[in-house]
Amino acid sequence: MNKAIGRLFVIGAVLFAALIVNLTWIMAVRADWYAERPENRRALAEELKIKRGVITGFDGSVIAASRRRSGYYAREYPQGALAPQLVGYSSVRYGRSGIERKLNGELTGQTSALSLENWADRLLGRRPEGAAVKLTLVPAVQRAAQQALKGQKGAIVVLDPKTGALIASASAPTFDPADLEDSWERLSQDANAPLLNRATQGLYTPGSAFKVVTAASGLDNGKVTPDAAFVDTGTYVVFGGKVTNYGGEVYGPNDFTTALTYSINTTFGKVGNLLGRKRLISSMERFGFYKTPPLPLPQGEVLPSGRYDEKGILAPDAFMDPLAVAWAACGQEQVLATPLQMALVAAAVANGGRIMEPYYLQEVVAASGNVLQKAQPRQWLVAMKPATALELNAMMQRVVNVGTGTAAALEGIQVAGKTGTAERGDGSNLAWFIAFAPADDPQVAIAVVIEDTQSTGGEAAAPLAAAVIRTALAQPELP
């Protein structure tokens, strides 16, 4: 009998300990996860009683404010739908996304940085008040990017290459967060995915815009020089297959600069195999491929670029035969990239080979006026040698001056860029353009992608980049 009681006691003690461990896991380790779940409407409803902090643009103008209605606060948007996929939504019914979710603690005044002020609020029986969040987004540039995409599917990302500050992030089609509650069913079921942040979640074949990565690798590894000689016959036969040029073009004798200027696939396929799989993939990793860019958004809202199959991203050491290497060097094969990643590629050339961490948060200011957080630009990666970046800068200027990117040329401003046209196999293209300007002192780097077009990157994407760059450089101040 005593043994049986002893066993029951041990079993009870183990179960009790398991209960304590589980409760500790739920209440401490996973507390934030449960609090953020859309299903947890009680927590969301309680937070709606708190005056949520304003979200402002870099110029101080309000993007998202709070207005009290029947004891609860609701978001309102004085400038309309400005970067809604990035800023996100805050809904008692559908939860939160984007910056609204990532910075929920700051915006509701419940972050640990406000612990002293929260203690004073509790002592006096007051609800905490949210901190104000100032973004690096420049509203005028953001509006220009959204206007450029109007009526199309695609994305535009604008960065300061010297700091990593996100100046604009546009995704189309888009939505109005003010109408989210009434439009959710339509938006969530729309095949065009307006809720998706294409700038950071859209994975696209980069096409010839990726040739900037291949060129950097070839120059950095000493496999080519800007004036290295090649001959194009229209076809590069390799490993039982072939690489051909867009539209069946034949260019004859060309040097490496000309190959980038006119986007000659056969030359870049040959350079890919001069490099080999290991060097090409290693260069991709130095640009940030195979890594999730450190833009602070909720999990899953920023995706890594790299080589993908139907199961997801492949390991960097995944097998590639020489034909696969050749096409990957042209930005085709299984290579997929986000617009954010391709903007970072342009920024790397603009910034002498160094890639800065992308960020959108300029500062956080408590209701008391105390500055809780301020932007501190940090280097993320080194993509290439400074000398390589200088050579590529000159080569990309030629693309805009006389090559496939002439539609991006601006009077009085030298633009350096690269077009890309990825054929999708269904008769439509993905049109790309990546660039930076002014070429001699870069202030902005940009990536534009347009889906489902019959046009090339030079025709569909380059003019949009020019319009956005012009607007950005006309601003009195950038982050």
Q: Are residues 98 and 228 both part of a single domain?
A: no
State mean pLDDT over 395-415: 98
Which residue type occupies 196?
L
Q: Are 288 and 381 in contact, with CB atoms under 8 Å apart? A: yes
State the pLDDT at residue 125: 53
Please give the C-alpha separations between residue 194 and each of 159, 174, 179, 314, in angstroms, as whole numbers.
Answer: 23, 5, 13, 28
The CATH code of the domain that includes 93 is 3.90.1310.10
State the pLDDT at residue 425: 77
Its pTM stands at: 0.90
Residue 122 clears pLDDT 90, i.e. is over it:
no
Residue 100 clears pLDDT 70, i.e. is over it:
yes
- Ranges assigned E (strand) in 122-271: 132-135, 154-159, 166-172, 229-232, 235-238, 241-244, 252-255
How many domains does the chain divide into?
2
Burial class (CB in 10 A: 0-12, 13-18, 19+), 106: buried
Domain termination residue (choose one: 72, 103, 136): 136
Which residue type occupies 288?
G
State the pLDDT at residue 439: 98
Residue 206 clears pLDDT 60, i.e. is over it:
yes
Q: Are residues 145 and 250 both part of a single domain?
A: yes
Q: Are 192 and 154 in contact, with CB atoms under 8 Å apart? A: no
Q: Are residues 108 and 238 both part of a single domain?
A: no
CA dihedral 68, 73, 79, 80 (to 10 degrees): -110
Domain termination residue (choose one: 76, 103, 136): 136
The per-residue pLDDT for range 416-439, each reduced to its tens digit, is 999 999 988 788 999 999 999 999
In a domain, 335, yes or no: yes
The per-residue pLDDT for range 236-246, each reduced to its tens digit, is 999 999 999 99
The per-residue pLDDT for range 15-72, each reduced to its tens digit, is 766 666 665 655 555 545 545 555 545 566 677 778 899 999 999 999 999 998 877 8
Strands 132-135 vs 55-56: parallel, antiparallel or unpaired:
parallel
Q: Are 434 and 466 in contact, with CB atoms under 8 Å apart? A: no
Structural domain of 221: 141-359+377-473
